[in-house]
Amino acid sequence: MTTRVSEVIRGWLGWCPNAPVMRTAPAIFAVPSATVKPAQPSGGAGGSGRIRRGIGIATGSIKTLIRDNRLLWFSFLAGLVILFLIAAEAWTVGHSGSAMPFLVSIPLGESFLVFDTRIFLLQVISLSSFTMILAGLVQYRSREAVPEPLTIREAFSAVSPHTGALAALSIVMALTGTFLTAIATQTQLVGKIVFSILMAVFYLPYAYYLPDVFSSALFFSAIIMAITILQFLLALYVVQGIVRENKGLLPALAGSVALMKKTWREMLGCTLVFGAIVLGVAAIALVIGQLPLLLNHDYDFFLSPSRGQLLMTVVCYGFILACGILMAVGSTVMGIAVTDLYACGKTGPVHRMPETDTPAVAEPAR
């Protein structure tokens, strides 16, 4: 029976083709015939095979970004949004004395939650920007295989018919994010957990040498960015439904839930790859944050220019810069991976028979 080895290998790596299955009949050989079992679906029909397919999609998204340098434009735009978020938060902290007109208090039991409307506006701008970048990436990827693929400019132009639904999604996420930010920064229990994590991972006395305003901006920006990332991961499929299927916000939400149920194993495979990268970065941050303990609290090492002050300044500022670059590049990689996951969830993996040098004999029409 004719087989196509190369395409089966691509199936094991997570490739999700859209072409119809080619059915072949047994070829006639000049040697005695032998019974050949049909090839099993690539990646396996079970859960472990689908998880491996998700791992292949995650690693393939990284390779895609390396091969296509134009995709770095989406990372560059995401980096600008991250810089805007930090700068805007720095301005907010620097003008905290004039924040009274922007504060809204909502009673919560015996206490109050105070919402800063400036945080809401900041999240609206940031989430709208991230959503538009992802939508442009989806348009670019969906036309990448055609004879005349879209340019980056054309990809963003193709998003314009969906701006209403994307803006509504951004506003909903901004409202949710503002509420979660207030809980994370004002609720005692959650605040202690968040503060303990940040102090263990990112706190290093005398090493960051940051101005108070910038340090506070990084602190609050890290909280806002973490909440934004969590929301955005949940909304990745929603953006796909809006852009690729021209759905409204509510139909896209319903469709994304159904698609997540269908592809949760592949999503788990992607999570294993991306989660390993995040854990690696967190481990580096933990080592940097615990250096005083590792150096037996030798704070003179961090204060003396002749010892470790200059070195630690470079290390800490370099780590902050590297984290920002990684987030910008990671947003593009995640967008690529979810675009491929969405395609697989909609069309399903197509498996073909391995190929040999013997020509295929078409199956007679029935």
Q: What would the pLDDT profile of 300-320 be if each residue is shown by its tens digit?
A: 888 888 888 888 888 888 888
Q: pLDDT at residue 54 above 80?
A: yes
More confident residue, 21 or 232: 232
**Residue 276 in this model has a pLDDT that exceeds 90:** yes
If we measure between CA atoms, which residue out of 71, 214, 220 comes closest to residue 138?
A: 71
Buried b (16+ CB within 10 A) or exposed e, 75-99: bebbbebbeebbebbbebbeeeeee
CB-based contacts of 275, cutoff 8 Å, min separation 6: none
Relative orientation angle of helices 264-289 and 249-262, to the nearest 10 degrees: 90
Least confident among 53-62, 105-114, 178-187: 105-114
Mean residue pLDDT across the chain: 76
Whether residue 12 has pLDDT greater than 60: no
Contact call for residues 147 and 348 (beta carbons, < 8 A): no
Q: What are the residues whose beta carbons fall under 8 Å from the beta carbon of 353, sequence distance 6 or more? A: 1, 2, 3, 4, 8, 22, 24, 38, 39
Distance CA 24, CA 37 (A): 13
Residue 222 clears pLDDT 90, i.e. is over it: no
The predicted model gives 4-33 an average pLDDT of 42
Per-residue pLDDT at 90 exceeds 50: yes
**Residue 207, pLDDT score:** 60
- What is the Rg, in whole angstroms, of the alpha carbon atoms belonging to the chain? 25
The letter for the amino acid at 14 is: G
Q: What is the mean pLDDT of residues 350-363?
A: 37
Closest CA to 132 of 93, 97, 158: 158
DSSP assignment of 147-184, as one string? SSPPPHHHHHHTTGGGHHHHHHHHHHHHHHHHHHHHHH
Structure tokens at 55: 């791992």
Element (H, E) at 321: helix 309-347
Q: How far apart are CA 82 and CA 73, in angstroms?
A: 14
The Cα–Cα gap between 55 and 326 comes to 19
**Looking at residue 94, what is its pLDDT?**
73
The length of the chain in residues reads: 366
pLDDT at residue 329 greater than cutoff 60: yes
- Give pLDDT, residue 75: 94
**CB–CB of 3/354 below 8 Å?**
yes
- Helix (H) or strand (E) holding 116, with range, is strand 111-116
Please tell me which of 110-114, 165-169, 293-297 the model is most confident about, judged by mean pLDDT. Answer: 165-169
Give the count of alpha carbons within 13 A of 331, CB side only. Answer: 34
Residue 142 in this model has a pLDDT that exceeds 70: yes
| Cα dihedral 220→218→197→109 (10° resolution) | -10
Contact yes or no for 292/302 (Cβ under 8 A): yes
Confidence of residue 113 (pLDDT cuts 50, 70, 90): confident
Q: What's the pTM value of the predicted model, to 2 decimals?
A: 0.73
Band the pLDDT of 220: cuts 50, 70, 90.
confident
Query: What integer pLDDT is reported at residue 352 of this predicted model?
Result: 35
State the pLDDT confidence band at 143, using cuts at 50, 70 and 90: confident
